[in-house]
Amino acid sequence: MVELDSHDTTAGEHRSWRSAARVRAGTARGTGGAARARLRLGAAVSVLALLVLAALLVPTLSSAPGTVDYQAVRLSPGPEHPFGTDTSGRDLFVRSLAGLRVSLLVAVVSTAVSALLGTAVGAVSGSLGGWADRLLMRVVDAVNAVPHLLLGIVIVALYQGTVLAVVLSIGLTHWATVARVVRSEVLGLRNRPYVDAAVSSGAGRWWVLRKHLLPAIVPQAALSAVLLVPHAVFHETALSFLGLGLPPHLASIGNILSDGREGVLLGAWWIVAFPAALLVATTLSVSGIAAVWRDRVVPTRRSELAL
């Protein structure tokens, strides 16, 4: 049974309303949960901020990440090179952060592509209904039916070796989940009394979509987009690791891991361990932020529906 904290009247109506909504939504969270969520959010935000800042600043401020030095091949981590060096003698600290920058950029741009495409398809599908809805949902099913990585490989193969190809291959395979979320939101909204009132006063489909439906689904669409970011980072990494992704000279986490394979066989574990740790830390912090956000958005929506 969920334990509800007893709020006195000065404790702020806002919070008690929120935990009440959570109880109704069936999420078992009391006060301890709220404090833990705040802690989790704080930790995730600071880790992500640190990583993004490092990825932006370190490669810019230090020597070029691509500097090859055959005098310093596979040096283990030490004061000179905190993450060691790779099989070409490049400093892994700088190179990993440069790689993180590229991977994050590709992930964010391709997530934006997915989010825009998914929102457009979902909103049109949900608000038109009828045969247009059925057709679009079958397209969504088809995209979902093919493994994302496989479809991504096909798209990359068509335009090999460009950053755009990687962005598109991730963007064009991940919009379907966003489209589903947006569509179901629109279906729940389009027969609300305030939409009826707008229709009765002469508003057209486009007006209703623009003024009532889209503003209402922005939080949900944005949330499902943020949940895609870690996924997109992994996809970029996987494509580059397979040698299909970003051009080899461009440092990305996937390229570094791919290069690091031979090093690992020679005992240089750091070539894989540190970039992989950066990747895991980044994705965990993004999904941590998204999880806290979801807990906030979803009960709000439910309490709004209960009106």
Partner 1 sequence: MLRAREVVAGYDRGRAVLDRVDVVVPPGAVRGLAGPSGCGKSTLARVLALLQRPWSGTVELDGRPVRGARYSVPAELRTAVGIVFQQPRPAVDPRMTLRQVVSEPLRARGIRRPWRRVGELAELTGLNDELLDRMPHEVSDGQLQRACLARAVAPRPRYLICDEMTGMLDASTTAALVRVVGELVNEEGTGVLAISHDEPLLLAWAGDDVIRW
> Measured from the CB of residue 199, what is the shortest distance to partner 1 in angstroms?
5
> Measured from the CB of residue 28, what is the shortest distance to partner 1 in angstroms?
28
> Measured from the CB of residue 228, what is the shortest distance to partner 1 in angstroms?
25
Which stretch in 44-52, 63-71, 188-196, 262-270 sits in contact with partner 1 by CB under 8 A?
188-196
Q: Based on the shown chain and the rule CB under 8 A, indicate whether residue 130 belongs to the binding site for partner 1.
A: no
Binds partner 1 by CB under 8 A, chosen from 205, 243, 266, 277? 205
Binds partner 1 by CB under 8 A, chosen from 194, 248, 262, 266? 194
Return the number of the residue (17 or 269) whose C-beta is nearest partner 1.
Answer: 17
Q: How far, CA to CA in Å, does 61 sit from each of 55, 58, 66?
A: 11, 5, 14
Return the number of the residue (144 or 300) whose C-beta is nearest partner 1.
Answer: 300
Which stretch in 53-61, 66-74, 173-181, 200-208 sits in contact with partner 1 by CB under 8 A?
200-208
> Measured from the CB of residue 178, what is the shortest distance to partner 1 in angstroms?
21
Radius of gyration of the chain, Cα coordinates, nearest whole angstrom: 23
User: Of 106, 251, 133, nearest to 187 (Cα)?
Assistant: 133
Q: Based on the shown chain and the rule CB under 8 A, indicate whether residue 18 belongs to the binding site for partner 1.
A: no
Q: Based on the shown chain and the rule CB under 8 A, indicate whether residue 198 belongs to the binding site for partner 1.
A: yes
Whole-number Å distance between alpha carbons of 195 and 211 = 10
Identify the H or E element spanning 157.
helix 148-158
Q: Based on the shown chain and the rule CB under 8 A, indicate whether residue 13 belongs to the binding site for partner 1.
A: no
Whole-number Å distance between alpha carbons of 111 and 1 = 39
CA angle, residues 114, 228, 108, in degrees to nearest 5: 65
Binds partner 1 by CB under 8 A, chosen from 142, 197, 277, 280? 197
Whole-number Å distance between alpha carbons of 184 and 179 = 9
User: 209-248: which residues touch partner 1 (CB under 8 A)?
Assistant: 211-212, 215-216
Q: How far, CA to CA in Å, does 274 sit from each of 76, 77, 83, 180?
A: 12, 10, 6, 36
Which stretch in 29-37, 76-84, 85-93, 191-199 sits in contact with partner 1 by CB under 8 A?
191-199
DSSP secondary structure, 3-19, as one string: PPP---GGG-HHHHHHH
Which stretch in 2-10, 93-101, 158-166, 204-212 sits in contact with partner 1 by CB under 8 A?
204-212
> Which residues, including other chains, have CB under 8 Å from residue 181's CB and lie 6 or more apart?
118, 122, 220, 221, 224
> What count of other Cβ atoms lies within 10 Å of the Cβ of residue 206?
9
Residues of this chain that interact with partner 1 (CB under 8 A) are 192-194, 196-205, 207, 211-212, 215-216, 304, 307
